[in-house]
Structure 1
């Protein structure tokens, strides 16, 4: 009887141990498909004078902006969205308030990988400004030369995108439609921004668009973002290239303070037959957002913002 009870006890113990052993759960992929990198800035400047023999005028200025990159990457799919908004003013005693920065730049581009780092892609982009611009240093008493959606540029096209890592993106669109909008009736004159007739509100062009973004980490907390583009209109004077370059040098002092230097160059025969240049320098508050995660071995995960 004792032998039977011993055998039953051993058997029950083996069954209990067998029930406790559980198969290993499959590994959960916690890698995010979405990554969001962005910078919010508020730059301030001020100067005051009292009985200063060297002369000078009291002034105060501000510049606010956001720069966001929202990227979805999973499998062979790549979807990149860019939001750039900026506006600034300066008020000088005896002169008044003048605009110092004004930009709206929105773009989206979706691609499907067909070879390593190469994507068949299509997308659109919109560029314009918030407020009116005037001759003579944005003097509102002078002639108006621009306004919201005057001009406004809308690009829609298809082509290929090369993206070996998060620091370099090159997009080539041999089929790109480009609309120039002039929605301010005061500016709808023949020749303004390429308009063909008085009263026209838009101009259609079709051609080649190439864009490139290159992000360079110069040293710790000093980063340079370069953006360039070229457009050629197949339909009329393809040799008159629209060329643009934008450089942003960000020097981070600490988590909330940074210095930004920007340089913009533009040549557009339909605007003015000269090279346009804009440069800004600001020191102020900056708050970075970076919740992206490495999504594959050949991605650097937007290291330019770290």
Structure 2
């Protein structure tokens, strides 16, 4: 949790410092665009002599979501930072984790034709703390932890970016490592591990990713992200699929309501579709500054 709060504070200070600059900046700085959101969502329920029943509970979800893009001449460098953590305390049940994600990625491209770039990129996906069966009950069986699993992708291919709202990357050459750093989880079959005691799994194949922002109304936007991975080395037909959607309904400058939906299918995790959905209202501080592609006449295209 301390890591998340520190990262949120650091990114906010960094963005505000840039926003408040009054002196002339170098051309390289003008090429940066920083779009981000810091959120703290709260929920609470209380009961007293309520015939319908219910348990007192209070919960929170904190997160940061930043996209930092450098674009100048033929260079395109996109960096994404997504961190989130949440807890809920219910009377009689205690604390339960409701959100936990670390998602970092970077992608550099060199323009080759129109809106196409030859690109290389890397990403890391894991979580902050342990996860358990039985509704994340700490007394139940542990099923995940920090870097257990942890997914690292490194690859090369092509990126297509026609405007600020859409980016697609296709990597026909992508190395994917699955790390299981928790010794309690290093069992054959867990996250695709071949033998007891193994701490990693190497795969090589095709990775495709896409992000699309849809502005539904003036203060309502939907951010979509999706990915697909196929392992050339073993059962390429077993695709690893994921989708994430964030519906942001802005109430005013500092208050927003967020609805999130995450879907995952990974044969090495569980042979079922995984679903996670959250709904919250609370504080949201947005950062949106720098040079946008839509501001540049040489890059205007479909919206």
Secondary structure at 1:80's aligned position in 2?
strand
Q: Which has the larger radius of gyration?
A: 1
Q: CA deviation at 1:30?
A: 9.8
Q: Distance in 1 between matches of 2:104 and 2:69?
A: 14
Deviations 1:245-297 (A, max 9, x none): 00000000000000000000000000000000000000000000011223522
The 8 Å contact of residues 165 and 298 in structure 1, kept in 2 or not, is answered as: no
Gaps of 5+ in 2: 1-25
Q: Which residue of 2 aligns with 1:108?
A: 106
Deviations 1:126-160 (A, max 9, x none): 00000000000000110000000000000000000
Matches within 5 A, 1:131-146: 131-146=129-144
Secondary structure at 1:291's aligned position in 2?
strand
Note if 1:190 corresponds to 2:188.
yes
Evaluate the alpha carbon distance shift between residue 58 and residue 198 of structure 1 in structure 2; reply closer, same or farther with a 3 A threshold.
Answer: same
Counterpart pick for 1:200 among 190, 198, 201: 198
TM-score (norm 1): 0.88
Q: Distance in 2 between matches of 1:187 and 1:111?
A: 37
Q: Which residue of 1 aligns with 2:19?
A: none
The 8 Å contact of residues 164 and 292 in structure 2, kept in 1 or not, is answered as: no
Secondary structure at 2:290's aligned position in 1?
coil
Q: Which residue of 2 aligns with 1:165?
A: 163
Q: Which residue of 2 aligns with 1:297?
A: 297
Evaluate the alpha carbon distance shift between residue 29 and residue 195 of structure 1 in structure 2; reply closer, same or farther with a 3 A threshold.
Answer: closer
Evaluate the alpha carbon distance shift between residue 106 and residue 31 of structure 1 in structure 2; reply closer, same or farther with a 3 A threshold.
Answer: closer
The 8 Å contact of residues 166 and 299 in structure 1, kept in 2 or not, is answered as: no
The 8 Å contact of residues 59 and 92 in structure 1, kept in 2 or not, is answered as: yes
Note if 1:43 corresponds to 2:41.
yes
Gaps of 5+ in 1: 1-27
Q: CA deviation at 1:298?
A: 5.8
TM-score (norm 2): 0.88
Residues matched between the structures, number: 275
Q: CA deviation at 1:29?
A: 6.8
